[in-house]
Homo-oligomer: A and B are copies of this chain.
């Protein structure tokens, strides 16, 4: 993991004490708290001055052969750390590792100030330490918090409120929205545009239902590149704290999610559907409107959900069923296609060899 210096800054070498502290781990007895390390790497690629980790039994041999000077390992693998390496026992080795990686490669800090090409309304409020990039547009009476990065070409509509420590990457647009602290919008994310609501007239035209709600993004919500969250029609669209959307995700008007939900790439949630906490929606899954999805439910990839899902349930398929039923149906179909009866014995179809 030799990072490209054109794109990533690397901090000065760090001593073992700082590294262990970053990961929230205790130093083993007798360890040299002042030992210096220069970066992070994979088990196979790390140098003796670098830090690595193991979190999967599959890589045990790589651990035994690693040249990394420091390795984070779960307790069960402590004895596999080779002689030349120092092992640091970590119940969540990967979590510890990413915290150390962040120590060496910190997120770029905001460069406070407003680029001369930006267009900021006179009555907009920009917090202390915030960076407003080239060609960004900040509408009337918008309020941007402290220490934000508003990237090049971001467009923030009138009245929008953005919390502290937010990062809005290039080409995002935000209107009719209130963003909590630490929200991240990736390039091209669309927040707060009009939802898809209209009524056919007797003459066969469609008449738009005024979309009079907002989008509320909770603290630390992240929205992927080119994803879309429409504002509410009569209520607000609400994304709970910590929820993360991947790229190209669609969230319709009046959707509400709890905290810590995950919406993977190209999934879509139709209008007025409500998700509890920690719901996971896998890639390309779709949920129809007005559903209730219980907390910790898991929606499989490409699933088509047309009914409520109870808390903790796993569903899969289109239409989505409980995951065991779907796998049983797939297995039954496979047997049927192979010319066997549902119990796996060769049936008449097999005998007939029609294909």
A: residues with CB less than 8 A from B are 1, 3-4, 6-8, 42, 92, 94-95, 98-99, 101-102, 105, 115, 117, 119, 133-135, 137, 141, 151-153, 155, 157-161, 169-171, 173, 175-176, 186-188, 190, 193-194, 196, 198-202, 204-210, 212-214, 220, 222, 224-226, 228, 230, 234-235, 242, 244, 246-248, 250, 252, 259-260, 264-266, 268, 270, 278, 283-284, 286, 288, 301-302, 304, 306, 318-319, 321, 325, 328-334, 336-339, 341-345, 347-349, 351-352, 354-355
Question: In whole angstroms, how far apart are the Cα atoms of A196 and B283 in the complex?
Answer: 12
Whether the pair B193, A102 counts as a contact (CB closer than 8 A) is: no
Instruction: Tell me the complex Cα distance, A249–B195, Å.
Output: 14
Evaluate contact between B199 and A95: CB separation under 8 angstroms.
Answer: yes
Task: Specify how many copies of this chain sit in the oligomer.
Answer: 3
Report how far A173 CA is from B171 CA in the complex, Å: 8
Known: A98-B207, A115-B119, A265-B268. A339 touches B342 (CB 8 A): yes
Closest to A250 in B: B265
CA distance A318 to B326 in the complex (A): 11
Contact in complex: B336, A329 (CB < 8 Å): yes
Chain B hits for A212, CB < 8 A: 1, 3, 8, 101, 105
Q: List 29 A-B contacts (CB under 8 A).
A: A3-B212, A4-B214, A7-B159, A8-B176, A94-B199, A98-B207, A101-B210, A115-B119, A137-B153, A153-B171, A190-B225, A196-B246, A196-B265, A205-B242, A226-B248, A250-B266, A284-B284, A284-B304, A318-B318, A319-B330, A325-B338, A328-B337, A329-B334, A329-B337, A333-B333, A336-B336, A336-B342, A341-B348, A345-B348
For A352, list chain B residues within 8 Å (CB).
343-344
Give the CA-CA distance A288 to B209 in the complex, in Å: 32
